[in-house]
Chain A
Amino acid sequence: GENVEQHPSTLSVQEGDSAVIKCTYSDSASNYFPWYKQELGKRPQLIIDIRSNVGEKKDQRIAVTLNKTAKHFSLHITETQPEDSAVYFCAASRGTGNQFYFGTGTSLTVIP
């Protein structure tokens, strides 16, 4: 089965700085890679996703890059704000109808 590794497990940045979270996956058949943000006690919320036919996707301050050859993808958050503080999970999937395999999560703290 798929194995998704995520680093770092914790990350602290100063407000305004950038944050980068990296994930690797093992299943070459995985073709969909979403990122979720989860605040304490709440449901995970999709913040951005990427399919394997593109290498990069950006949405305002958030971007995701994918390297299919190396089997890794990264989340980039620029101009971080305190409200970005949360746990972020990456996931990999073989696509429609298939289960997600989640990374272990990164606890991001943005220091005002």
Chain B
Amino acid sequence: GAVVSQHPSWVICKSGTSVKIECRSLDFQATTMFWYRQFPKQSLMLMATSNEGSKATYEQGVEKDKFLINHASLTLSTLTVTSAHPEDSSFYICSATEFGAYGYTFGSGTRLTVV
């Protein structure tokens, strides 16, 4: 079945630094990838939709200059949290879908802690 790999699984960084999270589709070409943020005991909140080769579409309220998304190839999307602050601490998770498919496959998630 479709496999999505996400790295790192957890990261601790200092306030003011940037963190990059990678999401890779291992056995299919992901025409669309989605980035979600999840706070403890809450639902998945869509941050942005990225299509290969084009700019990401951000949800209302998500700062595009803070959460940089790049989808340069059909198998890789990256989320960079720039100038991270403690309030950015959260569980970030990506999902990917192949063209024509209904279902999405989720990555394993990244626990970001900003200290």
B102 and A51 within 8 A (CB) = yes
A43 and B108 within 8 A (CB) = yes
B42 beta carbon closer than 8 Å to chain A: yes
Given contacts A51-B102, A97-B31, contact A43 B107 (CB under 8 A): yes
Given contacts A99-B34, A105-B43, contact A43 B102 (CB under 8 A): no
Cα distance, A58 to B105, chains bound together (Å)? 21
**Chain A residues with a Cβ closer than 8 Å to the other chain, count:** 25
A45 CB to closest chain B CB, in angstroms? 8
Q: List 29 A-B contacts (CB under 8 A).
A: A32-B102, A36-B106, A41-B111, A43-B107, A43-B109, A44-B44, A44-B93, A45-B106, A46-B104, A46-B105, A49-B102, A51-B102, A87-B41, A93-B102, A95-B102, A96-B97, A96-B99, A96-B100, A96-B101, A96-B102, A97-B32, A97-B97, A99-B46, A100-B46, A100-B104, A101-B46, A102-B44, A102-B46, A105-B41
| B-binding residues in A (CB < 8 A) | 32, 34, 36, 41-46, 49, 51, 87, 89, 93, 95-97, 99-105, 107
